[in-house]
Amino acid sequence: MTSRQHRNSFDPLAARARGRRFRRRILEMAMTVPALHIGGAFSCLEMVDAIYHGMMRQDSSGAYLDTFLLSKGHGCVAQYIILDALGILPKGELEKYCTIEGKLGMHPDYGVPGIAASTGSLGHGLSMSVGMAIAERHKGTGATVYVVLSDGELQEGSTWEAVLMASSLKVSNLVVMVDNNDFQTVGRTSITHPSFYPLVDKFEAFGWETVEMDGHDSEGIVRAVSERRGDRPFMLVGKTVKGKGVSFMENVVIWHYRSPNPEEFKAAMAELAEGRP
Amino acid sequence: MRNTFAETLYGFAQADPRIYVVAADISPAGPMAKFAADSPERFINVGVAEQVMIGMCAGLALKGMRPFAYTIATFSLYRPFEMVRVDLCYQNLPVTVVGMGAGVVYSQLGGTHNAQEDVAVAGAIPNMQILTPCDPLEVREMTRFCAVDNRGPLYLRLGKSGEPKLTETAPDPFVFGRLRTLRKGKDVCILSYGVIMKTAFEVADALERQGASVAVMNSHTLKPMDEEGIVRALRDYKRVIVIEEHAPQGGLASRAKQLAWEAKAGCTLQTFTLKDAFIHCYGSHDDLLAAHGLSAAAILAALGSPGRT
């Protein structure tokens, strides 16, 4: 299967239904554990979903040829939900999230099925992905490495060492997306570092092919990636909403970390019900 | 040591396309320049960017490669410490972090370039292994180990250049994780490792001239340390002397003291290490060691008569 076939077969309505279903599942999980990073998982969900359902190629045995690395490891519940739905995580593992019986913690751990590298400490993922992409290039596999970064993570100097390196080595099999929800633990990223924006200019200046777009537009994301020139590393700055999909969670900083109470849970589930636009 | 390392690695890299060198702006002297010219896709100079050097090594290893991160010890281990800890050690990847000029080898460059506590720093991380050759012959053996046998993160602590051959006539071969007898003796045992081994030999020679029979043992694998071997030495000899180009904490000397206590060893144990201090001196490597109290003369003066325990 090629990424072009993916694009042709990528169904935006199905993606929207998955988005609602995955968000409901994340909220159900949030009712059983005290801390889940709901906001950051909801903001990157369409990008992670588009990578798995519209970009990553599998061989005849179902093994992925391409690699996905979630550099913003704290959003990993978004990845766990998708890995569970795809049958990559062992059945029942999601129910044991953050318990002593299970394998899944609040940050992705190398060795867990479907997890390509341990992340959680910010500013590590992009450097590792540059190494991975170079290895794939030298092996001649034709594989692409997909990465999702947080915008807070762009404040790490190490991220910029990797941005520079990917450009200098012309790592063209590297596709990176920034979950630009404009929030970090303590407020808005654009208030912490106002001169840092617009982001897309910075990557452009470092020699990347770039695009800035709605980070919740699944079909548009798949199209933008498939239509890239592909002669250099590619950066998609996705404008996203923290807590996307539940009105009272959107752009409210406490949902970086807290779980809903029963009333909030009910209201959120109603907003995410089947048949809603 | 630098050239022997590069020459040996070049040989293994010719045979194994999984070997990469990811260097951070350190001049590729001698055979390393040949590697860079012959295999430019496998010699990557990241420039002055040590965090991406370690991260890229992790990414390469996650895809089945066997990378070597290569620069001056302070910059291969200290600057990107959290990348070494998380990317390499937490994920337990077969990456060799090469620390050039460890200890006070860069004796004219000052404290910014001296790795006085690197064994303690690297040794504190789970999964990390530490190897330290004492001469070019051991550099060859250990580089082979790193390129061929190694299965996890490893800190290879090197000197720089001009080190004499000390292990040509050693009765024991190099075995990873095992104390290596370099000279046999009955009364006194000197434990040491790394470039300062030549001082350990000078001290041994002087003690022998005074009538003692002196063994010299190389604790080249600092993690996992050959604790059984060290305890055996502590039990077999009346006097054990540790000579170490490293801070007093977190290295061989402090571990030997712990082991001596735990084993209720009855020997005299005397340890000589770098000071726990930035000493702001410049000069030759020997000058710096002397300023830390690690010249053969200073050690002998502190030891007194070999017969006295």
| Angle in degrees, 0-180, between the axes of helices A12-30 and A218-226, rounded to the nearest 10 | 120
Phi first, then psi: what are they for B4, rounded to 5°? -65, -40
Distance from CA of B55 to the nearest CA of A (A): 5
Hey, is the C-beta of B66 within 8 angstroms of any chain A C-beta?
A: no
Please say whether the beta carbons of A128 and B87 come within 8 A: yes
Say whether residue A116 is in contact with chain B using an 8 A CB cutoff. yes
Answer yes or no: do B52 and A162 touch at CB < 8 A.
yes
Which sign does the torsion angle of CA B49, B114, B13, B147 carry? negative
| Out of A121, A127, A133, closest to residue B52 by CB | A127
Average pLDDT (B75-103) is 98
Q: Which of residues 66-105 of A touch B (CB under 8 A)?
A: none
- Among the partner-chain residues A123, A129, A164, the one whose CB lies closest to the CB of B49 is A164
SS (H, E, C) A103-145: CCCCCCCECECCCCCCCCCCCCHHHHHHHHHHHHHHHCCCCCE
Contact assessment for residue A269 and residue A231, using Cβ atoms and an 8 Å cutoff: no
Residue of A nearest to B46 (CA): A165
Find chain B residues with C-beta within 8 A of A134's C-beta. 44, 56, 59-60
Question: Is residue A276 situated within a structural domain?
Answer: no
Contacts of B58 in chain A (CB under 8 A): 117, 127-128, 131
Query: A274: pLDDT confidence band, cut at 50, 70 and 90?
Result: confident
Of B17, B47, B56, the CB nearest to A131: B56
A163 touches chain B (CB under 8 A): no
Give the amino acid at A139: K
Distance of residue A269 Cα from the nearest chain B Cα, in angstroms: 37
Q: What is the fold of B180-303?
A: Rossmann fold (3.40.50)
Nearest-Å Rg of the Cα atoms of chain B is: 19
Give the chain A residue whose CA is nearest to the CA of B67: A131
Domain extent for A202: 3-271
C-alpha closest to that of B101 among B79, B76, B138, B123: B76
Report CB contact under 8 Å: B65, A132: no
Does A277 reside within a domain? Answer: no
Short-list A91, A66, A97, A109, CA closest to A226: A66
Cβ-nearest to A128 among B46, B59, B65: B59
Architecture of domain B2-157: 3-Layer(aba) Sandwich (3.40)
> What phi-psi label fits residue B264: left (phi over 0), alpha (psi between -120 and 50 degrees) or beta?
left
Interchain pair B87, A116: CB under 8 A: no
**pLDDT, average across residues A103-121:** 96
What is the rounded radius of gyration, in angstroms, for the C-alpha atoms of chain A? 18
Average pLDDT score over chain B? 96
Inter-chain touch B59–A130, beta carbons under 8 Å: yes
pLDDT grade for A254, boundaries at 50, 70 and 90: confident
**Interacting residues of B119 by C-beta distance below 8 A, sequence separation 6+:** B130, B132, B157, B222, B246, B250, B251, B252
The arrangement of strands across the sheet holding B180-183 comes to: B180-183, B214-218, B188-192, B239-243, B268-272
Is B63 in contact with A123 (Cβ distance < 8 A)?
no
Q: Residue A7 above 60 pLDDT? A: no
Cβ contact (<8 Å) for B91 and A130? no
Residue-by-residue DSSP string for B222-234:
EETT-HHHHHHHH
Q: Which residues of chain B make contact with A132, given a CB cutoff of 8 A? A: 59-60, 62-63
Residue B192: pLDDT above 60?
yes
Q: pLDDT value at position A6? A: 59
Q: Considering only alpha carbons, which residue of chain B is nearest residue A168?
A: B46
A129, part of any domain: yes
Q: How far is B17 from chain A (nearest CA, A)?
A: 9
Chain A residues inside the 8 Å CB shell of B65: 131, 135
Q: What is the pLDDT of residue A37?
A: 87
Q: Angle of helix B2-15 relative to helix B31-38, nearest 10 degrees? A: 30
Tens of pLDDT, residues A60-105: 998 999 999 999 999 999 999 999 999 999 999 999 999 999 999 9
CATH number, position A111:
3.40.50.970
Count of pairs with CB atoms under 8 A, one residue in A, one in B: 93
Interface membership of B61 toward A (CB under 8 Å): yes
What confidence score (pLDDT) does residue A276 get?
66
Q: Using one digit for the tens of pLDDT, what is the confidence trace for A153-194?
A: 999 999 999 999 999 999 999 999 999 999 998 889 999 999
d(CA A254, CA A246): 14
Interface contact flag, A116 B62, Cβ < 8 Å: yes
Residues in chain A: 277
The structural domain count of chain A equals 1
ipTM value: 0.95
pLDDT bucket at B28, cuts 50 / 70 / 90 = confident
Contact call for B55 and A139, based on CB within 8 A:
no
CA distance B116 to chain A (A): 25
Strands (E), B24-173: 43-45, 66-72, 96-100, 129-131, 154-157
Cβ–Cβ of B51/A161 closer than 8 Å?
Answer: yes
End-to-end CA distance of chain B: 36
List helix spans (H) across chain A: 3-9, 12-30, 38-54, 76-85, 125-139, 157-168, 189-192, 199-205, 218-226, 262-271
Taking CA atoms, B214 is separated from A200, B22, B58, B243, B306, in Å, by 68, 42, 44, 14, 10
A134 and B58 within 8 Å at the Cβ level: the answer is no
Residue A277 has pLDDT above 70, yes or no: no
CA atoms within 13 A on the CB side of B298: 16
Contact assessment for residue B275 and residue B293, using Cβ atoms and an 8 Å cutoff: yes
Per-residue confidence (pLDDT) for residue A33, from 0 to 100: 83
Domain with CATH 3.40.50.970 in chain B: 2-157
pLDDT at A200 over 70: yes
